[in-house]
């Protein structure tokens, strides 16, 4: 936590506190240096922009330990509380514009050190707290206040009673109540999660040790839940163990982490968040405190879109989202060469920040995330275009002057295959043919994926060739493996003499008949007595 900002006008332990959408923090009630008999009704507002406090209208009743909330109607609410031996079910609404507190419908039962959270539909949920009804008990009740009708209803009871705990709403709208004191009057590490939609409870990972009573905490601007200080359940005005420990819970990973400690150990403090900062105000450490402490929290980045989509490696894409300032990495789907860590310049403010990066060579289709000091964003899907996948078919039907050559465009790489075919060349001239290469002949064969082939004629007999399939899309051209084949030399047929018959005799000049390849010249030889004569 950062150092002291400025002291309140009054020391306050167990005050009520709430951050309003107008950017101010409102603090009321609590008890002063006189302990439990010194309940306060005064109230004040802190303006972070000027680092100043100003008095506002006092609460109608002096009390400490109320549950607090800001309604969707812009009003600030205070539920129950205590004044020494008196426990209250009194509830009040503060109008920020009119600077006026107004009594509203009381809680069904008295409540001290309960916690309250507001749902998006405007209802306010009050959890647990100490119930001083007969017999006194740690409450597990859930009371639901509807501002529009000024009425109370009941929700599903907590699995375990808690008071003096922390509470916050996560990004999914789930309400967390954690730490505090359990029904056996001991500090708790209990962590309960309430689903407003289903009116049901679940448990979550326990808070870090030591277990702490009279804590405070809330949901931060980074989406994490925070737990500040606390004690070992000592009684007011007596010695005991006070804690400066600060912990945060990440709902997305369901893990707790230790954060920088408070400058001093505090119990019975209040907390609020506005302008990207966490604030802890008042509290108790041997005596009631008046300090306000703050720490800047870097909210986790959030992405909404990426364009153009699809895109190719080596081209630029623009990510749009919020909290991108201070980006340290943009990670694309892939196993290597898929992260960009330099040249990360963010433009814009608020929820429309942009970050332009070049798609790395190792990127494949899938989510893209941005990492800042506040964490790693959600992923936005990017289709990464690649050249097609193609294989070369083994040549077949090879003759001295022709062969059947082809390939298989197995995948289009995310973009239409606009041309495919085969390339071939004399191996001694070019053993790895590519389009436009030396001595390379290109034979296109349609488009799209699938197998293809064609007969190639005009080859030279007795020659070794290399063939290679290719396929092209908007991302580029890919090639299959080179495969070599050799055209055979022509086969010369042997002439066959059919007449006269061997060893036959004739008077006069013989007439020869037989078969031979068309257009060939036939020479007849006479072999007699070891002498060969050309006829």
* Segment 43-94, tens digit of pLDDT: 999 999 899 999 999 999 999 999 999 999 999 999 999 998 899 999 999 9
Are 59 and 70 spatial neighbours (Cβ–Cβ below 8 Å)? no
Q: What is the DSSP string of 206-263?
A: PPPSSP-BS-EEEE-TTS-EEEE--BSSPPTTS---B---EEEEETTTTEEEEEPPPS
Are 255 and 261 spatial neighbours (Cβ–Cβ below 8 Å)? no
pLDDT of 5 = 56
State which residues form the domain around 403.
389-486
Q: Which residue has the tokens 């290399």?
A: 466
Which of 235, 268, 296 lies at the terminal end of a domain, its last residue? Answer: 296
pLDDT of 480 = 98
Same-domain check for residues 125 and 146: yes
Show the tokens assigned to 239.
């010695």
Q: How many CA atoms lie within 13 A of 234 on its CB side?
A: 18
Which of 360, 385, 410 lies at the terminal end of a domain, its last residue? Answer: 385
39 within a domain of the structure (yes/no):
yes
Give Cα 390 to chain centroid, integer Å: 34
pLDDT of 237 = 45
Same-domain check for residues 286 and 374: no
Same-domain check for residues 316 and 292: no
How many whole angstroms separate alpha carbon 279 and alpha carbon 217?
10
Are 181 and 137 spatial neighbours (Cβ–Cβ below 8 Å)? no
Same-domain check for residues 51 and 151: yes
Same-domain check for residues 275 and 331: no
Same-domain check for residues 352 and 373: yes
How many whole angstroms separate alpha carbon 445 and alpha carbon 436?
17
Are 461 and 487 spatial neighbours (Cβ–Cβ below 8 Å)? yes
Q: What is the DSSP string of 138-180?
A: E---EEEEETTTTEEEEEPPPSS--BS-EEEE-TTS-EEEESS
Same-domain check for residues 443 and 524: no
Q: Which residue has the tokens 């070049």?
A: 358
What pTM, to 2 d.p., does this model score? Answer: 0.65
pLDDT of 530 = 66
The domain that contains 368 carries what CATH number? 2.60.40.10
The domain that contains 51 carries what CATH number? 2.120.10.80
How many whole angstroms separate alpha carbon 435 and alpha carbon 394?
20
**Of 185, 184, 206, 202, nearest in space to 193 by CA:** 202
How many whole angstroms separate alpha carbon 268 and alpha carbon 288?
9
pLDDT of 134 = 60
pLDDT of 236 = 46
Residues 6+ apart with CB under 8 A from 519: none
| Torsion of the alpha carbons at 24, 30, 32 and 34, rounded to the nearest 10 | 180
491 within a domain of the structure (yes/no):
no
427 within a domain of the structure (yes/no):
yes
180 within a domain of the structure (yes/no):
yes
- Could you report the per-residue pLDDT of 110-132, keeping only the tens digit for each? 999 999 999 999 999 999 999 87
How many whole angstroms separate alpha carbon 314 and alpha carbon 386?
11
Same-domain check for residues 381 and 396: no
117 within a domain of the structure (yes/no):
yes
How many whole angstroms separate alpha carbon 422 and alpha carbon 442?
6
218 within a domain of the structure (yes/no):
yes
Same-domain check for residues 271 and 411: no
Output the tens digit of pLDDT for each of the chain's 535 residues: 455 456 777 899 999 999 999 999 999 999 999 888 899 999 999 999 899 999 999 999 999 999 999 999 999 999 999 998 899 999 999 999 999 999 999 999 999 999 999 999 999 999 999 987 767 789 999 999 999 999 999 999 999 999 999 999 998 999 999 999 998 788 999 999 999 999 999 999 999 999 999 999 999 988 899 999 999 876 544 456 899 999 999 998 999 999 999 999 999 999 999 988 899 999 999 899 999 999 888 778 999 999 999 999 999 999 999 989 889 999 999 999 999 999 999 998 767 899 999 999 999 999 999 998 778 899 999 999 999 999 999 999 999 999 999 999 999 998 999 999 999 999 999 999 999 999 999 999 999 999 999 999 999 999 999 999 999 999 899 999 999 999 999 876 677 878 877 777 777 777 778 777 665 677 777 666 667 667 6
CB atoms within 10 A of CB 37: 12
Q: Give ∠ CA 313-407-389 in degrees, rounded to 5.
A: 20
pLDDT of 520 = 66
pLDDT of 136 = 75
Same-domain check for residues 60 and 185: yes
Show the tokens assigned to 388.
């097609």
Q: What is the DSSP string of 58-89?
A: PPSS--BS-EEEE-TTS-EEEEEEEETTEEEE
The answer, yes or no, to whether the previous bond of 199 is cis (omega within 30 of 0) is no
Same-domain check for residues 462 and 517: no
What are the C-alpha distances in Å from 72 to residues 101, 114, 121, 191, 328? 17, 20, 8, 26, 36
Output Rg (C-alpha) for the chain, integer angstroms: 43
Same-domain check for residues 66 and 164: yes
Q: What is the domain count for the chain? A: 4
Residues 6+ apart with CB under 8 A from 377: 300, 301, 302, 303, 321, 369, 370, 371
Eight-class DSSP state of 350 = G
CB atoms within 10 A of CB 336: 8
Q: Which residue has the tokens 């549950």?
A: 67
How many whole angstroms separate alpha carbon 378 and alpha carbon 447?
38
Which of 329, 363, 385 lies at the terminal end of a domain, its last residue? Answer: 385
What are the C-alpha distances in Å from 464 to residues 460, 470, 483? 9, 20, 10
């Amino acid at each position: 936590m950062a150092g002291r900002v400025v002291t309140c006008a009054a020391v306050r332990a167990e005050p009520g506190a709430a951050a309003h959408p107008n950017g101010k923090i409102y603090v009321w009630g609590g008890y002063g240096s006189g302990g439990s008999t010194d309940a306060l009704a005064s109230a004040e507002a802190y303006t972070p922009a000027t680092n100043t406090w100003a008095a506002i209208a006092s609460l109608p009743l002096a009390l400490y330990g109320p549950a607090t909330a800001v309604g969707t109607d812009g009003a600030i609410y205070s539920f129950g509380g205590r004044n020494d031996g008196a426990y209250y079910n009194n509830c009040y609404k503060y109008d920020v514009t009119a600077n006026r507190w107004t009594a509203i419908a009381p809680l069904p039962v008295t409540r001290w050190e309960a916690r309250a959270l507001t749902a998006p539909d405007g209802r306010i949920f009050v959890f647990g707290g100490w119930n001083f009804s007969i017999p006194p008990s740690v409450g597990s009740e859930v009371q639901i206040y509807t501002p529009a009708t000024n009425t109370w209803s009941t929700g599903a009871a907590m699995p375990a009673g808690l008071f003096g705990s922390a509470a916050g709403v996560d990004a999914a709208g789930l309400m967390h109540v954690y730490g505090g004191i359990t029904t056996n009057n001991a500090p708790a590490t209990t962590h309960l999660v309430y689903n407003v939609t289903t009116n049901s409870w679940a448990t979550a990972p326990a808070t870090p040790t030591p277990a702490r009573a009279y804590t405070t905490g809330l949901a931060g601007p980074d989406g994490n839940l925070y737990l500040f200080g606390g004690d070992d359940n000592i009684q007011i005005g007596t010695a005991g163990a006070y804690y400066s420990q600060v912990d945060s819970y990440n709902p997305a990973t369901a893990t707790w982490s230790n954060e920088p400690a408070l400058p001093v150990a505090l119990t019975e403090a209040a907390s609020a968040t506005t302008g990207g900062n966490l604030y802890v105000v008042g509290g108790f450490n041997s005596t009631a405190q008046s300090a306000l402490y703050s720490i800047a929290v870097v909210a986790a980045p959030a992405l909404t879109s990426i364009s153009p989509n699809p895109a190719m490696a080596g081209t630029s894409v623009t990510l749009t989202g919020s909290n991108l300032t201070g980006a340290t990495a943009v990670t694309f789907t892939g196993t290597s060469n898929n992260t960009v860590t330099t040249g990360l310049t963010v433009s814009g403010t608020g929820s429309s920040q942009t970050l332009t990066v070049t798609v790395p060579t190792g990127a494949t289709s899938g989510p893209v995330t941005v990492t800042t000091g506040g964490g790693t964003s959600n992923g936005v899907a990017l289709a990464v275009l690649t050249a097609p996948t193609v294989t070369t078919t083994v040549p077949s039907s090879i003759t001295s002057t022709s062969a059947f050559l082809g390939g298989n465009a197995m995948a289009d790489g995310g973009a239409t295959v606009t041309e495919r075919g085969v390339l071939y060349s004399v191996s001694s001239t070019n053993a790895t043919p590519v389009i436009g290469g030396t001595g390379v002949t290109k034979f296109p064969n349609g488009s799209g994926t699938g197998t293809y082939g064609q007969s190639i004629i005009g080859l030279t007999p007795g020659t070794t060739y290399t063939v290679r399939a290719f396929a092209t899309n908007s991302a580029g051209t890919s090639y299959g493996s080179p495969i070599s084949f050799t055209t055979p030399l022509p086969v010369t047929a042997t002439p066959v003499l059919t007449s006269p018959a061997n060893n036959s005799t004739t008077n006069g000049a013989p007439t020869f008949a037989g078969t031979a390849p068309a257009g060939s010249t036939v020479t007849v030889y006479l072999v007699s007595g070891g002498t060969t004569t050309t006829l």
